[in-house]
Structure 1
Amino acid sequence: MHAIRDALNLGKVIRDFGDSYPDGAQSALESYHHEILERGGRAVLLSRNAFTHSQERDAIIMAWGSEATSLPEEKIVLDHYKP
């Protein structure tokens, strides 16, 4: 998710260079880089603490503000494509 967000944000930064390239590029990229590090650091800390209590019996594990649950078991069959 972060890689996709980073790529989209970088695309916007590059698009907005306009006539300021290369002079304005460094400033724009520094701002982009700062945002990545700040958001990424928060994500790492949240990830590290996500399962702190997962070894406790009946612990509720949260993910993105919702209770994490197991996926239902299901059988998926991929049919061969026949033109």
Structure 2
Amino acid sequence: MLLNASLKDKESLQEIHSLLHALFVRNRHQHKRNHWFKSLQQFRKQLGLLLEEMETKKKTVAEQKVTARLRYWDDHCIHQWYL
């Protein structure tokens, strides 16, 4: 599970999130109407929420939230982001 990920893996997710944030900030006015940019914006937001939930102190609550978020991604988001 993600909560048992190594520190290096968590840092990699943080780096990806900061890279996506920088890309978003730099290009938001230029590409805000493009379909792919909306998916990028949604992915950036969802990744940030996932990282926040992974940092929750209560492990049982964090595990439930992370599992629910990953199910939500699988059911509603990943296919849209891919297209």
TM-score, scaled to structure 2: 0.34
Q: Between Structure 1 and Structure 2, which shows a larger proportion of strand residues?
A: 1
Determine which structure has more spread, i.e. the larger CA radius of gyration.
1
Q: Between Structure 1 and Structure 2, which shows a larger proportion of helix residues?
A: 2
Q: Which has the higher contact order (CA 8 A, sep 6+)?
A: 2
